[in-house]
Structure 1
Amino acid sequence: MEILGTRSALRVADLAAELDVSTETVRRDLDDLTRQGLIDRTYGGAVRRPSLEPGLSERQTQLVPQRQAIARAAVPLLAGARHVMIGSGSTTMHVSRRLAFEMRDVTVLTHSFGAATVLAGNPAITVMMTPGVYHLGEGALHGGQTLRFLEDFRADWAVVGASGLMPDGASDAMIEAAEVYGAMARRSARVMVVADSSKFDRAFPASYASWEGIDVLVTDTPPRGPLARAIAAAKVSVRVECSAAPPPGTETSGGRAS
């Protein structure tokens, strides 16, 4: 359980070597922890049992000042971009609203109906939507068609959210959403994760990017502990924007992105 505090997933073979025990011992212990409700077994390993994340409509009513502040800090970083990919989620919705207000002459590709709707309110923004299977709870499109469509495009920035941020990277509660976020990250020159501090040190099964694959984290509170050290080691730029008037010195940078 201590190891799962720093990693989102464990493999039986790795644990056996690290703890100097047999794989049979590891499997028995993982089965015991599963029966206690502490972990979920996966093929060849285990993950920490995630807390259930509420649907998009409920999340949109939570932490609104923090998410508005994150959007306020995120959009200026996109200045000069001609093509942007935006993932689904409550924080990215706030970013989309801010982008629609502040930017022009940009093409935005998204799988989120909510993001497309608010962006379309600005006639100087071209909005492209992916195909795919519609997920009612998230108001977004996912699946193989979505992933294949994204492979035909490249963007200056990918802006994505996360359900959890751990020392090994960003993850999401929905496997389908994580697949789309990962595809957007791979097809973009730079990757921005927008997530409030309630996502810190929370692990979810669907990992979509390590910190080495992320350029900027925009959040409302500076990360601490192992998470902060992992972010700094990957040279990720961290932009902190408080919901109140930001005090001096709240912006830190690992030097990877300005």
Structure 2
Amino acid sequence: MSELPFRRHALILQHLEQHEGARTTELAALLDVTRETIRTDLAHLSDRNLLQLVRGGAVAIGAREPELAERLSANPLGKALIAAEAAAMVPDGARVILDSGSTTLEIAKRLRGRSGLRIWTNDIAIAFELMQVAEVTLLGGRLDATERTLGGQDAIEMVQGYATDLAFVSLGGLSASHGLTDFDRTGLALRQSMIHAATDAYYLADQTKFGRNAPLRWKPMAQTRAVICDIAPDTGIAQRLNEYELGLILPRQM
């Protein structure tokens, strides 16, 4: 029995990351579907800039993080589901760290009705989203105008001076072969510092992250409780999360 489309897409991306490329016939045999189905899948994933089409198949895109504009437009429904789950964990009066990113921005939008929140973030858009309804601390550091974020060693040292209740941080990739991964060493160090500053922390990974192997590996941290996803990952990823003793939180609407 063939996989559902979203599971096929995750398996295709995982296969390409492991083998760098694959022919259409190879993927059709692997997933037990027709070549026409695979061509449709590859075109869909190419439109989302998750792979590169070549004659007779596809190859993995290099280990780079998609641009902010791409991330903001990718899988909005999935990110909304993750954001709803994360926001439901935040009580009035909580102290919360929000990492930069399109999913954390969706969380911020869902926190506007809460009272007494204290927010720490390095994301300028999140700070503007919440500045009228919460006490917001914008973590200082080097400005990345393209990403609309602040970062670097100054931001790392600043967040280390705080103690918060919750932190929500985004993953660059999540795969059975490489586990939890990220793209940038300084960005990874900042996210790790965010987690250290929180009593409880949660990773965020929508389905576009499944099967993606960014170049830097996370080491699981004691404060992290679970990964919040929009859909269930494949068995290999679920087993890797179990090895890390990380829970998996899925939308209650499923």
Query: TM-score normalised to the size of structure 2?
Result: 0.70
Does residue 198 (structure 1) correspond to residue 208 (structure 2)? The answer is: yes
Aligned equivalent of 1:255: none
Percent of residue pairs bearing the same amino acid type: 21
Instruction: Spell out the pairing of 1:1-258 with structure 2 (5 A cutoff).
Output: 50-79=62-91, 82-101=94-113, 103-122=114-133, 125-167=134-176, 169-210=179-220, 214-241=224-251, 246-247=253-254
C-alpha distance in 1 between matches for 2:244 and 2:217: 17
Stretch moving more, 63-72 or 78-87: 78-87
From the superposition, tell whether residues 211 and 228 of structure 1 become closer, same or farther in structure 2 (CA, over 3 Å). farther
How far is the alpha carbon of 1:81 from its aligned partner? 5.9
C-alpha distance in 2 between matches for 1:105 and 1:59: 30
Aligned equivalent of 2:6: none
How far is the alpha carbon of 1:169 from its aligned partner? 4.1
Uncovered stretches (5+) of structure 2, i.e. residues with no partner: 1-14, 19-59
C-alpha distance in 2 between matches for 1:209 and 1:54: 23
- Partner of 1:109, secondary structure, is strand
Query: TM-score normalised to the size of structure 1?
Result: 0.69
- Conservation of the 8 A alpha-carbon contact between 2:156 and 2:193: yes
Aligned length: 198
Aligned equivalent of 1:42: none
Uncovered stretches (5+) of structure 1, i.e. residues with no partner: 6-47, 248-258
Q: CA RMSD in A?
A: 2.5
From the superposition, tell whether residues 78 and 237 of structure 1 become closer, same or farther in structure 2 (CA, over 3 Å). farther
- Partner of 1:220, secondary structure, is coil
C-alpha distance in 2 between matches for 1:217 and 1:72: 14
Q: Return the letter of the residue paired with 2:104.
A: T
How far is the alpha carbon of 1:211 from its aligned partner? 6.6
C-alpha distance in 2 between matches for 1:68 and 1:75: 10
